[in-house]
Amino acid sequence: MATVNRRILPGFLPGMSYTLTYLTILVLVPLGACFFKAMTLSWDQFWGAVWTPRAQAAYALTFGASLAAAVLSTVFGLVVAWVLVRYQFPGKRLFDSLIDLPFALPTAVAGLVYRSLYVKNGWLGQFLVPLGIELALTRSGIVWVLTFLGIPFIVRTVQPVLEALESDQEEAAASLGANRFQTVCRVILPNLYPAIVTGFALAFARCLGEYGSVVFIAGNKQFDTEIAPILIVNRLEETEYGEAAAIAIVLLVMSFAMLIVINWLERWSRRNEH
Residue 232's domain is classified under what CATH number? 1.10.3720.10
Residue 114 lies in a domain: yes
Query: What is residue 205's predicted lDDT score, i.e. its pLDDT?
Result: 85
56-96 pLDDT tens trace: 999 999 999 999 999 999 999 999 999 998 888 898 999 99
The ranges of the chain with pLDDT < 50 are 1
Angstrom distance (rounded) from CA 107 to CA 211? 8
Domain count, the chain: 1
* Distances in whole angstroms, Cα of residue 101 to Cα of each of 210, 222, 229: 16, 31, 23
pLDDT tens digits for range 100-119: 988 888 888 888 899 899 99
Is residue 269 assigned to a domain? yes
Whole-angstrom Cα distance, residue 67 to residue 69?
A: 5
Interior angle at CA 85, CA 79 and CA 166, nearest 5: 110
pLDDT at 193: 85
Domain limits for position 69: 42-273
Q: Is residue 190 part of a domain?
A: yes
pTM (predicted TM-score)? 0.85
Let me know if 61 is exposed, middle or buried by CB neighbors in 10 A (0-12, 13-18, 19+): buried
Whether residue 8 lies inside any domain: the answer is no
10 in any annotated domain: no
Q: Is 262 in contact with 201 (CB distance < 8 Å)? A: yes
The reply to whether 30 falls in a domain is no
